[in-house]
């Protein structure tokens, strides 16, 4: 039956459904009652017993779904999707020194990975050099330590940066790492205009959920604006932002909030760059996104489709985008870290596989699958191999990639897509009312919504409404199976300190001082920060030195926590 | 008399979802919870714990740097004459490190599967057994110590 | 400039003394005795910081600590947060905004839950202030959540009171309760970079003038420090004119004592016939609630 049915046809269905409920369902349910009064998705959306064409009576296929590669892109950003090539398999890697991580990159590429994704240690993420007192105990532990271009040269040694795209998960210091990346490419002999990849660089979600910050929101927005403007002009294949919902979801938000807050951040970045007078079609095509794929299967597939449709509509209607590329949302995806358990870790392979499938059926462009050891440690080689194989099995054995947007038309999925879209639109109105995204951050609006959602989910879990297999249900007393974990090389920190000392010894201190002075000058004004930053890293100023030069100018951020 | 707990987030790690839920849950169980925010050094944590005169410091740590952080906290408490403050931890701590931490004087480590009720019961038991409040009342009759 | 500091063990002992009075373990005198006497030229300068929630009080306090330290003096902070009326517990998060001072031995920050005062000033906050004074702190800042009667209760504690507010969203200065014009020594409009700041400051000045006072109205952006030096100067100046405050404090304490006694007396005979008659008339809508209260009040006086 066509979704776009005549009113009388859906009425007939509604009537028939009522009859079914009375005559078939009720008597049966009396003898065999349902497990619960109401079921809800993990994000809190009620999940009905049954969806029929009647639930989609307001739908218009051509208006609401259309075709892949065409407005509103609900069915996918490209006309051929995985029939042309599968999504990029992009497992994140990062630990120890750049040399250590480079080895892991090469291992993953040899195993069939098609894109690189870099995880940095906490000091690098937060703008501290490896020898800063604040960095003690954390150098090279949760990611790779990068202090200067010298580190980056080793990080990407032997990798063809013109052929393989590189993603760097870095935020408050993203602009610095991007500058280092460009200088690295120069020194390794690659053409900057051929570089593809991304820096995450989504500072808005930091204040909301991931909480990696240095400066207050307004100067931080200026930095993101400058990277987008610079990239639009000089790096045609590069994505200067990866607007993220993953972390907000991991921090406990609902699926609707994930979509709403992420897209709102995207719109805020668009407005910020527009204020420079740059036309929207000059930079919007290169804005990319990053969502989680959680365990509630149907909700996730619907969520990705809703995100695409919303972005397309708002970009066209509110920002007047005309280029299809400006309206077409592309996203990287990662399976949900919080869904992985420490107990019975091998179960996580199943969870990850299901979440990965949802991401694929949702049309992701790039995917990281978690290792079974996600709740225990940063991923081991063995865990990453299985995670990669999981993606390869989906791509090569299941056939879901051979047809586009296979779940379209499912009454349940289409209905959930609509609901998520409506929920997100309501949030946009609320954010507007509160004076926009940056004001809402300063007023703790997102943080409060998030705290409430996280607490609500926590209560539902403790009440038994959400079960975790092997932990809250089917828990046995056998000792937790031991798995071989990534071995943290405690000597790596010292190696990094030696590397840093060597960099400082080799460089020209006068050049560094001059470069930092120039950077400070630009920071106080309104010119683009990228050129002086590129020059500073070229003469081997370190990330920490750059941040320290800017702290007195931009200030430091202290949060106002909500519970 | 409410139990007073400091929920501490040491280091650069920004994952505070668990810590905040714990804070809220402990409050709902009638405790007074001091939250010092993110990015705390051991010095800041111990200074706060002493000034707030808490019964328990609950360290939430997911970064793996616990073998650097806990020893520092224990040493500072000792130096400042506040070793009677109980230290517990939660988050991601590898099983093999737990005995080492207990040897340092960390009284309990709650793993990721512990429920908030486990935590509340645990804290109440620790405070009961440790009896700081009663010991403190006696202290007031003693000579000044500083 | 040399910055005074307070010894670490004294931090500990002060904290314990405050706990003792907070939890009713022994007398105030015993708690005070546990701290060695400090010989000082003048007692601590006690500054109350109050105002509606979200005004940025903690950030203002953080900046004021900075001012105190810049003069080489020591600062103690008593930050009061409301206890949950349901569980009796509390999350005390004010010190987050001041935590950068945590390593500084010249600064002592103590959070207190309001406990049975239900959102008001913790009953033992006054004693905590006196203990901090005894421990030798030059300035004691008391921060309270400005809801209900709290703004007025802080009077019994502080020499000088700052009322912090933010640019209101269209409805003037409604958030400032009438009683505040009485007790404020300085008004601050914080987040002054937001729209409506000048308007709010003007409204406050108008209100001040109408009440026949000369309370200064300042604007600050506490998050970047703008206007804080001027605020500190105004506070010090207000301290200079201090005579009023002792009288004001006595007046307030007396008023509170009277209120408490009247309430206790009223509660005592609520079950008696005359009171029940009043209730019956109220239930039958023969009199308004206000009239019922007046009638009960009459009964209190005649019961003497």
Considering only CB atoms, which chain C residues are within 8 Å of A560?
A: 58, 96-97
Inter-chain Cβ pairs, chain B and chain C, closer than 8 A? 125
- In the predicted model, what is the mean pLDDT of residues A284-305? 98
Touching subunits for chain B (3+ Cβ pairs under 8 A): A, C
Interface contact A462-B11, CB threshold 8 A: no
Judge: A250–B17 Cβ closer than 8 Å, yes or no: yes
pLDDT band at C167 (very low <50, low <70, confident <90, very high): confident
Strand partners, C162: C49, C186
In a domain, B110, yes or no: yes
Quote the tokens at residue C162. 């700052």
C250 touches B: beta carbon within 8 Å: no
- Residue A461 has a pLDDT of 85
Mean pLDDT of A451-462: 88
Q: Which range (A18-27, A486-495, C26-35, C54-63) has the least confidence?
A: C26-35
Sequence-separated (6 or more) residues with CB below 8 Å from residue A26: none
CATH of the domain at B97: 3.40.50.280
Could you please state the CATH topology (level 3) that the domain comprising A87-462 is classified under.
TIM Barrel (3.20.20)
Query: Using CB atoms within 10 A of its CB, is residue B107 exposed (0-12), middle (13-18) or buried (19+)?
Result: middle
Interface of B with C (CB under 8 A): 1-2, 23-24, 26-37, 40-41, 43-44, 47-48, 50-53, 79-82, 133, 136-137, 139-141, 144-146
For residue A93, the cross-strand partners are: A118
Mean pLDDT on C167-180: 58
**Cα of B120 to nearest chain A Cα, Å:** 14
Question: Which of A1-5, A169-173, A312-316, A529-533 has the lowest average pLDDT?
Answer: A1-5
- Mean of the pLDDT values across residues B114-131? 88
CB atoms within 10 A of CB C195: 10
pLDDT digits (tens, 9 = 90+) for A68-77: 999 999 999 9
Residue B42, in any domain of the structure = yes
Token pair 């959306």 in the structure block, residue: A45
- CB contact at 8 A, B10 and B38: no
Q: Do B20 and A342 make contact, defined as CB atoms within 8 angstroms?
A: no
Backbone angles phi, psi at C39, to 5 degrees: -100, 110
Alpha helices in A251-346, H assignment, sequence order: 255-274, 280-283, 297-317, 324-327
Of the listed ranges A249-258, B58-67, C102-111, the one predicted with least confidence: B58-67
Q: Which residue of C84, C92, C94, C96 to mutate against A (max A Cβ within 10 Å)?
A: C96
Residue A314: its pLDDT value, please?
Answer: 97
**Which pLDDT band holds residue C123 (cuts at 50, 70, 90)?**
low
> Where on the phi/psi map is residue A444: left (φ > 0), alpha (ψ -120 to 50), or beta?
left
With an 8 Å Cβ cutoff, is B112 touching chain A? yes
Instruction: Name chain B contacts of A141, Cβ cutoff 8 Å.
Output: 63-65
Average the pLDDT over C200-207 and give the result: 90
Q: Which pLDDT score, from 0 to 100, does residue B61 have?
A: 86
pLDDT tens figures, A172-205: 999 999 999 999 999 999 999 999 999 999 999 9
Q: Which residues of C touch B50 (CB under 8 A)?
A: 8, 11-12, 15
Output the six-digit token pair for A444: 């703790």
Q: Is the pLDDT of residue A142 over 60?
A: yes
Neighbours of C154 (CB within 10 A): 28
Mean pLDDT of chain A, nearest integer: 95
Terminus-to-terminus CA distance in chain A, angstroms? 49
Average pLDDT estimate for A1-22: 81
Residue C122 has pLDDT above 70, yes or no: no
Whether the pLDDT of residue B145 is over 60: the answer is: no
% of chain B with per-residue pLDDT over 90: 65
C114 or A527: whose pLDDT is higher?
A527
Residues of chain A found within 8 Å of residue C224, distances taken between Cβ atoms: 555
Which residues fall within 8 angstroms of residue A405, CB to CB, at 6 or more apart?
A68, A74, A75, A76, A81, A305, A361, A363
- Alpha-carbon distance of A121 to A495, in angstroms, equals 14
Contact (Cβ atoms closer than 8 angstroms) between residue C196 and residue C168: yes
Could you tell me if residue B104 is inside a domain?
Answer: yes
Could you tell me the pLDDT band of residue C180, with boundaries at 50, 70 and 90? low
Return the pLDDT at A43: 87
pLDDT of residue B113: 75
Which structural domain, as residue segments, surrounds residue B78? Answer: 4-139
Interface test with C, best of A444, A447, A558 (most C CBs within 10 A): A558
Tokens linked to C33 = 């005795």
Nearest by CB: B28 against C12, C26, C87? C87
Select from A123, A343, A485 the Cβ nearest to the Cβ of B12.
A123
The residue written with tokens 């206790």 in the block is: C264
Return the pLDDT at C181.
67
Please give the pLDDT value at position B139.
Answer: 54
More confident residue, C294 or A354: A354
- Tell which wins on pLDDT, C285 or A518: A518
Q: What is the pLDDT of residues C47-103, one digit of tens each?
A: 999 888 888 999 999 999 999 999 999 999 999 888 888 899 999 999 999 999 998
A465 DSSP 8-state letter: S
Q: Report pLDDT for B143.
A: 40
Can you tell me the mean pLDDT for B22-37? Answer: 95
**Closest-CA residue of chain A to C62:** A558
Q: How many CB pairs (< 8 A) connect A and C?
A: 16
Å from B36 to nearest chain A CA?
9
Residues of chain A positioned with their CB less than 8 A from the CB of B67: 137
Kindly give, in sequence order, each residue whose CB lies less than 8 Å from that of residue A233, ignoring residues fewer than 6 positions away. none
Token output for A371: 């290792």
Closest residue in B to C14 (Cα) is: B51
For chain C, give the mean pLDDT: 84
A46-47 vs A39-40, strand pairing mode: antiparallel
Confirm if A368 and A333 have CB atoms less than 8 A apart: yes
**Which pLDDT does position C252 carry in this prediction?**
67
3-state secondary structure of C228: helix
Is residue C172 pLDDT above 50, yes or no?
no
Would B145 be classed as within a structural domain?
no
CA distance C64 to C225: 9
Q: Lowest mean pLDDT: which of A307-311, C6-10, C114-118?
A: C114-118
Residue A99 burial by Cβ neighbours in a 10 Å radius (0-12, 13-18, 19+): middle
DSSP conformation letters of C123-167 = TTHHHHHHHHHHTT-SEEEEE---STTHHHHGGGT-SEEEEEE--
Is the distance from CB of B3 to CB of B31 less than 8 angstroms?
A: yes
Query: Domain limits of chain A?
Result: 7-56, 87-462
pLDDT of residue C39: 74
Mean pLDDT over the full length of chain B:
88
Q: Verify whether the Cβ–Cβ distance A558 to C54 is below 8 Å.
A: no
Contacts of A339 (CB under 8 A, 6+ apart): A294, A295, A348, A351, A355
Interface check C273 vs B, CB under 8 A: no
- Asked whether residue B146 is assigned to any structural domain, the reply reads no
C93/A561 Cβ within 8 A: yes
Count of structural domains within chain B: 1
């Amino acid at each position: 039956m066509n979704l776009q049915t005549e009113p009388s046809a859906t009425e007939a269905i509604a009537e028939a459904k009522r009859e079914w409920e009375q005559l078939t369902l009720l008597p049966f349910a009396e003898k065999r009652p349902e497990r619960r009064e109401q079921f809800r998705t993990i994000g809190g959306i009620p999940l009905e017993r049954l969806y029929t064409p009647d639930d989609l009576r307001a739908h218009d296929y051509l208006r609401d779904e259309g075709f892949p590669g065409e407005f509103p892109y609900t069915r996918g950003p490209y006309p051929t999707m995985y029939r042309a090539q599968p999504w990029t398999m992009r497992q994140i890697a990062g630990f120890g020194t750049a040399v250590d991580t480079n080895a892991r990159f090469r291992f993953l590429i040899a195993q069939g990975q098609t894109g690189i994704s870099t995880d940095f240690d906490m000091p690098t993420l937060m703008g501290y050099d490896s020898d800063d007192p604040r960095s003690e105990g954390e150098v090279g532990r949760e990611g790779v330590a990068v202090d200067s271009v010298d580190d980056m040269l080793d990080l990407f040694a032997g990798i063809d940066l013109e052929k393989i795209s590189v993603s760097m998960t870095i935020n408050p210091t993203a602009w610095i790492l991007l500058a280092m990346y460009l200088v690295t490419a120069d020194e390794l002999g690659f053409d900057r205009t051929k570089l593809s990849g991304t820096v995450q660089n989504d500072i808005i979600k930091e204040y909301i959920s991931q909480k990696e910050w240095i400066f207050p929101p307004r100067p931080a927005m200026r930095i993101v604006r400058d990277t987008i403007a610079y990239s639009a002009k000089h790096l045609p294949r590069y994505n200067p932002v990866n607007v993220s919902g993953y972390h907000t979801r991991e921090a406990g938000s609902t699926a609707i909030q994930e979509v709403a807050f992420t897209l709102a951040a995207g719109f805020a970045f668009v407005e910020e760059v527009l204020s420079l007078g740059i036309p929207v079609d000059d930079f919007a095509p290169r804005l990319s996104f990053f969502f989680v794929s959680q365990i509630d299967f149907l909700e996730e597939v619907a969520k990705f489709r809703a995100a695409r449709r919303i972005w397309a509509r708002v970009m066209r209607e509110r920002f007047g985008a005309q280029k299809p590329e400006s309206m077409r949302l592309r996203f990287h995806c990662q399976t949900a870290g919080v869904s992985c358990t420490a107990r019975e870790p091998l179960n996580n392979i199943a969870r990850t596989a299901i979440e990965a499938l949802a991401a694929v059926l949702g049309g992701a462009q790039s995917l990281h699958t978690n290792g079974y050891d996600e709740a225990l440690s940063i991923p081991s080689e063995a865990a990453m191999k299985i995670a990669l194989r999981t993606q390869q099995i989906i791509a090569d054995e299941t056939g879901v990639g051979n047809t586009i947007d296979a779940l379209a038309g499912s009454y349940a999925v289409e209905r959930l897509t609509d609901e998520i879209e409506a929920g997100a639109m309501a949030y946009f109105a609320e954010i507007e009312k509160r004076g926009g995204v940056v004001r809402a951050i300063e007023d703790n609006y997102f943080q409060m919504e998030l705290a409430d959602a996280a607490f609500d989910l926590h209560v539902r879990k403790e009440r038994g409404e959400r079960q975790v297999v092997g932990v809250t249900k089917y828990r046995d007393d056998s000792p937790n199976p031991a798995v071989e974990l990534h071995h943290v090389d405690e000597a790596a920190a010292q190696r990094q300190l030696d590397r840093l000392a060597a960099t400082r010894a080799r460089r020209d201190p006068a050049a560094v001082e001059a470069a930092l002075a120039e950077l400070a000058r630009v920071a106080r004004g309104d010119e683009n920060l990228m050129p002086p930053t590129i020059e500073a890293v070229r003469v081997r100023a370190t990330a920490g030195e750059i941040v320290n030069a800017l702290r007195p100018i931009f200030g430091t951020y202290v949060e106002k926590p909500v519970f | 008399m409410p139990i007073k707990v400091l929920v501490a987030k040491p280091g650069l790690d920004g994952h505070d979802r668990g810590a905040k839920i714990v804070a809220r849950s402990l409050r709902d169980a009638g405790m007074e919870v001091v939250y010092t925010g993110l990015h705390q050094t051991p010095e800041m944590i111990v200074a706060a714990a002493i000034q707030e005169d808490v019964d328990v410091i609950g360290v939430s740590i997911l970064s793996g740097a616990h073998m650097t952080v806990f020893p520092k906290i224990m040493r500072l408490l000792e130096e400042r004459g506040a070793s009677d403050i109980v230290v517990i931890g939660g988050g991601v701590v590898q099983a093999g490190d737990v005995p080492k931490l207990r040897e340092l004087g960390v009284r309990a480590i709650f793993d990721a599967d512990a429920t908030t009720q486990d935590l509340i019961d645990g804290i109440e038991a620790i405070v009961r057994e440790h009896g700081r409040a009663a010991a403190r009342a006696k202290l007031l009759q003693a000579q000044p110590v500083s | 400039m040399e910055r005074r500091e307070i010894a670490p063990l004294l931090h500990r002992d002060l904290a314990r003394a405050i706990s003792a009075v907070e939890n009713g373990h022994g007398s105030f005198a015993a708690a005070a005795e546990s701290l060695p006497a400090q010989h000082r030229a003048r007692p601590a300068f006690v500054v109350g910081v109050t105002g509606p929630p979200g005004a940025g009080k903690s950030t203002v306090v953080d900046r004021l600590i900075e001012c105190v330290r810049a003069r080489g003096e020591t600062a103690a902070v008593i930050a009061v947060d409301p206890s949950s009326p349901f569980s009796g517990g509390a999350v005390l998060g004010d010190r987050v905004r001041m935590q950068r001072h945590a390593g500084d031995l010249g600064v002592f920050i103590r959070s207190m839950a309001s406990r049975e005062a239900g959102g008001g000033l913790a009953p033992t906050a006054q004693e905590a202030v006196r203990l901090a004074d005894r421990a030798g702190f030059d300035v004691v800042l008391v921060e309270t959540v400005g809801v209900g009667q709290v703004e007025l209760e802080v009077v019994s504690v502080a020499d000088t009171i700052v009322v912090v507010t933010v640019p209101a969203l269209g409805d003037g200065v409604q958030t400032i309760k009438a009683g505040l014009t009485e007790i404020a020594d300085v008004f601050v409009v914080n987040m002054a970079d937001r729209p409506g700041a000048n308007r709010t400051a003007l409204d406050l000045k108008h209100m001040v003038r109408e009440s026949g006072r000369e309370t200064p109205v300042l604007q600050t952006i506490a998050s970047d420090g703008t206007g804080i030096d001027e605020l500190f100067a105004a506070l010090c100046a207000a301290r200079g004119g201090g005579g009023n405050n002792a009288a004001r404090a006595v007046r307030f304490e007396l008023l509170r004592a009277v209120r408490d006694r009247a309430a206790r007396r009223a509660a005592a005979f609520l079950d008696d016939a005359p009171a029940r008659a009043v209730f019956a008339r109220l239930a039958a809508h023969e009199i308004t609630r206000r009239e019922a209260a007046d009638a009960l009040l009459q009964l209190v006086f005649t019961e003497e």
